[in-house]
Structure 1
Amino acid sequence: MDFPTIDCQTVVLGAGIIGVCSALHLQAAGQRVVLLDRDEPGAGTSHGNAGLIERSSIVPYAFPREWSRLARYALNRQSSMRFSPAWLPKIAPWLFQYWQNSSPANLASASRAMLPLIERCVSEHDRLAEASGMTSLIRAKGWIEFYRDQAEFDLAVADARSYDRHGLRYEVLDASQLRDREPHLSGAMGAIHWLDPKSVIDPGALVRGYAALFVERGGLLLKGDARSLCQHDDSWQVETREGLVRAQNAVVALGPQSTEVTARFGYRIPLGIKRGYHMHYAANPDEPLQHSIIDAQAGYVLAPMARGIRLTTGVELAAPDAPINEIQLRRCEAIARTLYPLGERLDAEPWLGRRPCLPDMRPVIGPATSHKGLWFNFGHAHHGLTLGPVTGRLLAEMMSDAKPFTDPAPYSPDRFG
């Protein structure tokens, strides 16, 4: 049976939060868009995050530079980060770049670059959530960062005070005030309640809702393999189950799989993968968790979700396709159970996600250097859910020759040569 050729202006490869939002904004700019993925929307990395729209994260996650902290990590016994000894030598060059970019001067530069995106992350989500009817999945309670150590708490409060110039809203809570907000959380010396962020009780469902809006507005959502992308004359072609898609432009928004496509065209973008896990636990209705809680010292998040309480781990450095390893999750779970009455596990096995990270702590957004009509939008690290709508907007403004709301130069693929 012969399938038809589907012509469009842009094909977006990847139906995670970044790809879906890119497709929506390009569609709103008047383009005919095809959105392609091998799975359902939001089935990959977008499904399993902590559900935070992180308005308060104006400083990116940097590589630690204190020798005492590095020494603790080297023992490989921490709950916030673990590594595979066999994988560490292979990722060492990338880690060295990450370490270099985490110097005080470079981190300040990365923070300035990311600020225009972070500042707009909540408002851009609000627009899409309203249009898609997904507002019931988003809660405006902020999140609570708690500490068990007084010295660490004092440092965190000082850091928070240094952000006052950015107009972030927060409240410093002593142990008694924290108990008023979270009566069933114990063991904390104090906490910072960040008020501007929002939380999502089902990130995967939110992405599916945004994708449904794209289809409702006339977009095509197709199944296919992005690795079939090829350039033919002045167009881009990719194979789908419904036929060949032919487009003037192709957007690579494949998250951790992005370089599987970009490398085929000669682009050497240093994308690293930070793995992470989540597990759901039964919630006791008599001991509810009211807010998303971050254990800043142990490096995990507890978040009230549509399906119980989700525990999301920090960073695991291991081969992207390595089997699930429960060591880090078990460490975090053991600590969490001393602080909050988690119920039984609800998942048969942990969910494993892969965060696509670049060593200078900013995504790649913009046109490919040597291929007309090829565009990139990936590498959002820990903030894919946070930044999907706003980076989708920026990309669409660049592709439709509208004036970008911020200078896109800091995110240019050209910075990697």
Structure 2
Amino acid sequence: MNDQVTILGAGAVGLCTALSLAGRGVPVRLIDRGEPGQETSSGNAGVISPWSFIPQSLPGIWKKLPDLMFGAYQPLSVRAGYWPRMVPWGLSFLRNSSAQRVQEIADAMEPLCMPSVDLYRRHLEGTGQEHLVQDCAYVHAYRKDGRDLLQAIDYRIRADKGARLELVGQDELRRIEPALSPGFKSAVLIHGQARALSPGQIMAALAAKAERLGIEILQAPVDGLRRGEDGWRIICGTQTYTARRVVVAMGAWSAELLKTLGIAVPLASERGYHIEFPEAGIELNNSVMDTDAKFVASSMTGGLRVAGQAEFAAIDAPQDSRKQARMQAQAKAAFPDLVTAAPKFWMGRRPSFPDTLPMIGEFGGHAGLYAGFGHSHYGLMMAPKTGELLADMLTGRTPNIDCGPYATGRF
């Protein structure tokens, strides 16, 4: 058994970790049941933002839950059979919503998000796909007067950390994004970020680069993980692989795998949906969030993508097809000239901890077993820096940030 590192999961986190390790001369094997980066990582909203370090658990969120679940837009839902698991997770989530705790979580998310644009551009160098990361602003669009918007805690935290925020009225918003409905009265622009013109194509480019660098990529289901006398045994159907060091980066599927080792983690399968309009007839200049419907829209190589919804359900539950009509209606309301013919509907699973932070690092009592999962809504942003941190840990370097907030034993 050599010094090869085996990474279970070839989504954004797995691919970025593999590239960071290969850049340091470490041999790497990636194992994933599907094509690299073509599951959850391929279907997100495409936001690559150094400033997206605000957790979901904001102060007063409990007061908004009824409207989020049963109001006009219904961006949040919980399947009936999931409530027994949802209640303890939800209570822990609410305990992380105090102003002090939100600041602490933002402080921990910031170093994971901040280098995201630069690191993606570094990983894409030489692939011929560098154009897939495009500079833009993040437009948070509101249907109300925006005079006091910048006083909200999320914008104050961003401003304190150096974000360039701009409050614009209806006329300027229409100039910036003419496809938006005139029902939007104001917006906050978050400058200094980028968007992915195709997350799936970016992942494919990174996978191709990984193979050119000698990284072994295997497509196989990971059925089990066992500790052996001299390392780990990874069971993939009738085939067994061995490795001294293993990184679990299987997203929402990580918890089930770890259960077999007696490791319990409060990881929820929070599903997100998108609907993509291939002949949209409109073009957005930036990533645009409808702050009422809680969706993000972006023009991509495959059309206009509208991504949103937070649905808590069992990991193997089928998608809720009723959400397609709702999301399509909301997209049409936000963008009146949108051509909605032949839409493509998609669902993916976000791995979410109640404190919004991922697990990054070695599991205590399980030498050579590392975590790289639990990035919630922020996986695309956090993946490159997560890969750098894991590469540091696996090569004996001291990470340049405090990794305590991401500790595997924090729960």
| Alignment TM class, shorter chain as reference | over 0.9
CA distance in 2, matches of 1:390, 1:209: 18
1:193-272 to 2 correspondence within 5 Å? 193-239=189-235, 244-272=240-268
Are the equivalent residues in 2 in contact too, given 1:33–1:220 (CA < 8 A)?
yes
The answer to whether residue 405 in structure 2 is matched with residue 405 in structure 1 is no
1:26 maps to what in 2? 21
Query: Structure 1 residue 77: deviation in Å?
Result: 5.4
The answer to whether residue 149 in structure 2 is matched with residue 156 in structure 1 is yes
Residues 63-116 of structure 1 show CA distances to partners (whole Å, capped at 9, x for unaligned) of: 663554233235365332122234223311111111111222222211111121
1:84 maps to what in 2? 79
One-letter identity of the residue aligned with 1:110: I
1:88-167 to 2 correspondence within 5 Å? 88-150=83-145, 153-159=146-152, 160-167=155-162
TM-score normalized by the length of structure 1: 0.92
Residues 319-339 of structure 1 show CA distances to partners (whole Å, capped at 9, x for unaligned) of: 222222133443232122123
Are the equivalent residues in 1 in contact too, given 2:279–2:341 (CA < 8 A)?
no
Are the equivalent residues in 2 in contact too, given 1:227–1:260 (CA < 8 A)?
no
Query: Structure 1 residue 358: deviation in Å?
Result: 0.6
Q: SS in structure 2 opposite 1:139?
A: strand
Q: SS in structure 2 opposite 1:123?
A: helix
2:359 maps to what in 1? 364
Q: SS in structure 1 opposite 2:316?
A: coil
CA distance in 2, matches of 1:77, 1:321: 28
Are the equivalent residues in 2 in contact too, given 1:26–1:33 (CA < 8 A)?
yes
The gaps in structure 2 that reach 5 residues or longer are none
Q: SS in structure 1 opposite 2:192?
A: coil
Query: Structure 1 residue 226: deviation in Å?
Result: 2.0
Query: Structure 1 residue 386: deviation in Å?
Result: 0.7
The answer to whether residue 346 in structure 2 is matched with residue 351 in structure 1 is yes
Q: SS in structure 2 opposite 1:163?
A: helix
Percentage of identical aligned residues: 32
Query: Structure 1 residue 317: deviation in Å?
Result: 2.1
Q: SS in structure 2 opposite 1:229?
A: strand
One-letter identity of the residue aligned with 1:317: F
One-letter identity of the residue aligned with 1:258: S
Residues 122-149 of structure 1 show CA distances to partners (whole Å, capped at 9, x for unaligned) of: 2211211224332111110122110002
1:318 maps to what in 2? 313
CA distance in 2, matches of 1:229, 1:90: 25
Query: Structure 1 residue 240: deviation in Å?
Result: 5.2
Query: Structure 1 residue 239: deviation in Å?
Result: 4.2
Worse-superposed segment, 132-141 or 252-261: 132-141
Worse-superposed segment, 273-282 or 322-331: 322-331
Per the alignment, do residues 313 and 414 of structure 1 end up closer, same or farther by CA in structure 2, a change over 3 Å counting? same
Q: SS in structure 1 opposite 2:380?
A: helix
The answer to whether residue 185 in structure 2 is matched with residue 192 in structure 1 is no
CA distance in 1, matches of 2:59, 2:273: 21
TM-score normalized by the length of structure 2: 0.93
Query: Structure 1 residue 59: deviation in Å?
Result: 1.5
1:385-404 to 2 correspondence within 5 Å? 385-404=380-399
The gaps in structure 1 that reach 5 residues or longer are 1-5
Per the alignment, do residues 67 and 377 of structure 1 end up closer, same or farther by CA in structure 2, a change over 3 Å counting? closer
2:174 maps to what in 1? 179
Worse-superposed segment, 8-17 or 378-387: 8-17
Query: Structure 1 residue 227: deviation in Å?
Result: 2.4
CA distance in 1, matches of 2:30, 2:238: 12
CA distance in 1, matches of 2:176, 2:395: 46
Are the equivalent residues in 2 in contact too, given 1:280–1:345 (CA < 8 A)?
no
Which one of 12, 20, 24 corresponds to residue 17 of structure 1?
A: 12
Q: Tell me the C-alpha RMSD between the 2 structures.
A: 2.1
Are the equivalent residues in 2 in contact too, given 1:18–1:389 (CA < 8 A)?
yes
When the two structures are aligned, how many residues end up with a matched partner?
Answer: 407
Are the equivalent residues in 2 in contact too, given 1:143–1:194 (CA < 8 A)?
yes
Query: Structure 1 residue 40: deviation in Å?
Result: 0.5
1:3 maps to what in 2? none
